């Protein structure tokens, strides 16, 4: 067991022959991920990194049995790529692309809402199940196998947390980078829920940041349904208010928006909240010990 992806996942790369796609596909293959091919419209029939290139996701799925896709196409074409993957029957779609217009993502969210697929991202580092499959851009070598799951909005802060977990003598089941955009496919709560239901995961690290109400939603869910220790950190305790969000947006988000408000709600819901990002790993080790794991 593991969450979302494992050694049996058959992965295609959309934007396979581009610079980013080529570089990260190579890294993913080296990690042991089963990359079965890629899609670059107009280059169908060619071989790239010894794998077949297809014109459409549909062809790739029909001929390789792919069930996971990772997207490296430029922002102007990324929404289209996500919808193409969903239409072709891909079950887990990981979109790395940063900078997709919000209007496009509103349409994507609507388009995939009644299709049998899960979108991770966009603007995320991807997903990794330690020692099994890396569908993302993270440095694979830091993810030692273990029993801690990670959910995070950001890339390098995830690596920081994972590194601390490993230094504390623990390891990782699956790390899910959910992405930092206003509209993402899998919110914090759903990612936490996946890990909570995973028998191989004993504890969960939840890393959020200022803006939006996803962490509060996840915290309330954990209070009602949580069965495992959760350690939380919110980045941006010192971020000035109003620099990124218009004040009308802050009203819709309610009082859950600031780091302090989110940390308070998370604590009240039984999450071990750390103020310092340097304490994430140690706190997880302590909580697991308390839980007898």
Partner 1 sequence: MNIHEYQGKEILKSFGVRVQEGIVAETPAQAVEAAKKMKTDYNSDWVVVKAQIHAGGRGKGGGVKLAKNLDEVKEKSEQIIGMQLVTPQTGPEGKLVSKVLIAQDVYYPGESETKEFYMSVLLDRAKGRNIIMYSTEGGMDIEEVAEHTPHLIFKEEIDPKVGLQAFQARKIAFNLGLSGDAFKDMCKFVAALYKAYESTDSSMFEINPVLKTSDNKILAVDAKVNLDDNALYRHADYAAMRDESEEDPTEVEAGKSNLNYVKLDGNVGCMVNGAGLAMATMDIIKLAGGDPANFLDVGGTANAETVNAGFNIILKDPNVKAILINIFGGIVRCDRVAQGVIDAYKEIGNIPVPIIVRLQGTNASEAKKLIDESGLQVYSAIQLKEAADLVTKVLAS
Strand 272-273 with 230-235, pairing: parallel
Q: What's the closest the beta carbon of residue 1 comes to partner 1, in angstroms?
A: 27
The string of DSSP letters for 208-249 reads: EESSSSHHHHHHHHHHHH--S-EEEEEE-TTPPTTSSS-HHH
Report in angstroms how near the CB of residue 27 gets to partner 1 at its nearest. Answer: 8
- Which residue's CB is nearer to partner 1, number 3 or number 119? 119
Instruction: Output the smallest distance, CB 62 to partner 1, in A.
Output: 29
Q: Is 4 left (phi over 0), alpha (psi -120 to 50) or beta?
A: left
* Nearest to partner 1 of 227, 238 (CB atom): 238
The pair of three-digit structure tokens given for residue 123, joined into one six-digit string: 């603007």
Minimum CB distance to partner 1 smaller for 10 or for 118: 118
Distance CA 127, CA 6 (A): 10
CB atoms within 10 A of CB 55: 14
Torsion-angle region of residue 272: left (phi > 0), alpha (psi -120 to 50) or beta?
Answer: beta
b/e per residue 4-35 (b: at least 16 CB within 10 A): bbeeebbbbbbbbbbebbbebbebbbebebbb
225 is catalytic: no
Identity of the residue, 61 or 151, whose beta carbon is nearer to partner 1 in the bound complex: 151
Q: How far is the CB of 251 from partner 1 (least distance, A)?
A: 5
Marked catalytic residue, from 24, 48, 225, 247: 247
Task: For residue 156, give the nearest of 171, 136, 172, 173 by alpha carbon.
Answer: 136
Residue 253 CB, nearest approach to partner 1 (Å): 7
Residues that bind partner 1 (CB under 8 A): 27, 75-76, 99-103, 105-107, 109-110, 137-139, 141-142, 152-160, 163-164, 167, 180, 182-183, 207, 209-214, 217, 233, 235-240, 242-243, 246-253, 259, 275-279
Which CB sits closer to partner 1, 26 or 63?
26
Active-site amino acid positions: 247
């Amino acid at each position: 067991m593991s969450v979302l992806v494992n050694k049996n996942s058959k992965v295609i790369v959309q934007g396979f022959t581009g610079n980013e796609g080529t570089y990260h596909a190579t890294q993913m293959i080296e990690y042991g991920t089963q990359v079965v091919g890629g899609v670059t419209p107009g280059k169908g029939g060619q071989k790239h990194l010894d794998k077949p290139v297809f014109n459409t996701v549909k062809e790739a799925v029909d001929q390789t049995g792919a069930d996971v896709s990772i997207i490296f196409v430029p922002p102007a074409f990324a929404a289209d790529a996500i919808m193409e993957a969903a239409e072709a029957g891909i079950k887990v779609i990981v979109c790395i692309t940063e900078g997709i217009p919000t209007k496009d993502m509103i349409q994507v969210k609507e388009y995939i809402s009644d299709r049998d697929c899960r979108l991770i991202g966009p603007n995320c580092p991807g997903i990794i199940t330690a020692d099994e499959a890396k569908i993302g851009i993270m440095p694979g070598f830091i993810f030692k196998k273990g029993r801690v799951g990670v959910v995070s909005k950001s890339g390098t802060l995830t690596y920081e947390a994972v590194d601390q977990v490993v230094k504390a003598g623990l390891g990782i089941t699956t790390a899910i980078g959910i992405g930092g955009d206003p509209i993402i496919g899998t919110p914090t709560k759903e990612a936490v829920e996946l890990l909570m239901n995973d028998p191989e995961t004993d504890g969960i690290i939840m890393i959020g940041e200022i803006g939006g109400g996803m962490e509060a939603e996840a915290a309330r869910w954990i209070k009602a349904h949580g069965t495992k220790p959760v350690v939380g950190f919110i980045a941006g305790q010192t971020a000035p208010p109003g620099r990124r969000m218009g004040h009308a947006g802050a009203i819709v988000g309610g009082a859950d928006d600031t780091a302090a408000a989110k940390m308070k709600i998370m604590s009240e819901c039984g999450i071990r909240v750390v103020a310092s990002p340097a304490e994430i790993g140690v706190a997880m080790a302590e909580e697991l010990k308390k839980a007898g794991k």
